[in-house]
């Protein structure tokens, strides 16, 4: 998996937001060409209408375009949008994510925004990307992919037993990252299991970030 590129950009009120402030949540990061155009309006409105469904997966929706914060403010007010829109007027973030490039319209070539969406996991890894997005049906596709990924995480976690974790920690102290990799499990869920086992007195931490099974 590719790590998401961090950035800091202003919202419609000129408040700065950085990607890493959303660590621990799923992130739907989408790039669109221009406020108040037909396709971009449809996409933003559909994301807003489905926000409750994304909230169930603890996902935040972030839209980025090269429009100004003032333009975003008008766009949000006009269409009653409830998602976060950020301004990338110098298109540096657009370029970093490959969402800025050469386009063609009526035979003329120019540089502009390539409509794109990226699904980023709670550890800030890009787990899915869509380029040259067609707006119709796209929001539902993103939501379905998010649901699928969450189900995969749940299935992995269910397969991990307390006994398997304790067995591994009998040999030598390990970090949660090591355990997650060895058990092919989600790191956040391993961390929860570690906290539970530590509270129950079944494991201990001989040094920072390392855990081992207590001798019986």
Binning pLDDT at 50, 70 and 90, where does residue 155 land? low
CATH of the domain at 169: 1.10.10.10
164 and 68 together in one domain = no
pLDDT (0 to 100) of residue 153: 64
pLDDT (0 to 100) of residue 25: 93
The count of other CB atoms within 10 Å of the CB of residue 92 is 13
Asked if residue 152 is part of any domain, the answer here is: no
106 and 166 together in one domain = no
122 and 32 together in one domain = yes
CA distances for 52 relative to 83, 93, 96, 113, 127, angstroms: 11, 27, 29, 28, 22
Q: H or E segment at 62?
A: strand 59-65
Binning pLDDT at 50, 70 and 90, where does residue 116 land? very high
106 and 180 together in one domain = no
In 84-153, DSSP assigns E strands to 84-87, 100-105, 108-113, 116-120, 125-130
The last residue of a domain, from among 110, 139, 168: 139
Catalytic residue among 8, 18, 40, 209: 40
Asked if residue 153 is part of any domain, the answer here is: no
Pseudo-torsion of CA 22, 192, 177, 175, nearest 10°?
A: 130
Give yes or no for a contact between 84 and 75, defined as CB atoms under 8 angstroms apart. Answer: no
What is the span of the domain harbouring residue 203?
A: 159-213
Catalytic annotation present for 40: yes
Asked if residue 150 is part of any domain, the answer here is: no
Collapsed DSSP state (helix, strand, coil) of residue 182: helix
CA distances for 49 relative to 40, 46, 147, 175, angstroms: 14, 5, 17, 41
What's this model's pTM, rounded to 2 decimal places?
A: 0.73
Q: Which residue has the higher pLDDT, 205 or 64?
A: 64
pLDDT (0 to 100) of residue 152: 74
C-alpha–C-alpha distance, residues 55 and 62, integer Å? 13
Asked if residue 26 is part of any domain, the answer here is: yes
Asked if residue 145 is part of any domain, the answer here is: no
123 and 178 together in one domain = no
Q: What is the pLDDT of residues 11-39, one digit of tens each?
A: 999 999 999 999 989 999 999 999 999 99
Q: Which of 60, 16, 66 is nearest to 40 (CA)?
A: 66
Cα of 2 vs its chain's centroid, Å = 12
């Amino acid at each position: 998996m590719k790590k998401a590129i961090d950035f800091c950009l202003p919202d419609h009120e000129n408040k700065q937001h950085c990607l890493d402030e959303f660590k621990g949540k799923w992130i739907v990061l989408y790039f669109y060409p221009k406020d108040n155009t037909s396709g971009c309006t449809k996409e933003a409105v559909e994301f807003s209408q489905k926000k409750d469904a994304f909230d169930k997966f603890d996902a935040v929706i972030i839209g980025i375009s090269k429009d100004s914060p003032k333009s975003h403010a008008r766009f949000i007010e006009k269409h009653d949008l409830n998602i976060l829109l950020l301004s990338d007027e110098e298109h540096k973030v657009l370029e970093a994510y490959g969402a800025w490039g050469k386009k063609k319209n009526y035979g003329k070539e120019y540089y502009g925004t390539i409509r794109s969406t990226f699904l980023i996991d709670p550890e800030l890894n890009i787990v899915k990307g869509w380029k040259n997005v067609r707006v119709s049906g796209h929001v539902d596709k993103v939501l379905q992919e998010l649901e699928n990924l969450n189900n995969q995480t749940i299935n992995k976690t269910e397969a991990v037993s307390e006994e398997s974790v304790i067995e591994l920690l009998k040999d030598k102290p390990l970090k949660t990252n090591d355990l997650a990799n060895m058990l092919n499990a989600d790191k956040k869920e391993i961390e929860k299991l570690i906290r539970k086992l530590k509270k129950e007195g079944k494991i201990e931490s001989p040094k920072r970030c390392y855990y081992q099974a207590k001798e019986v």
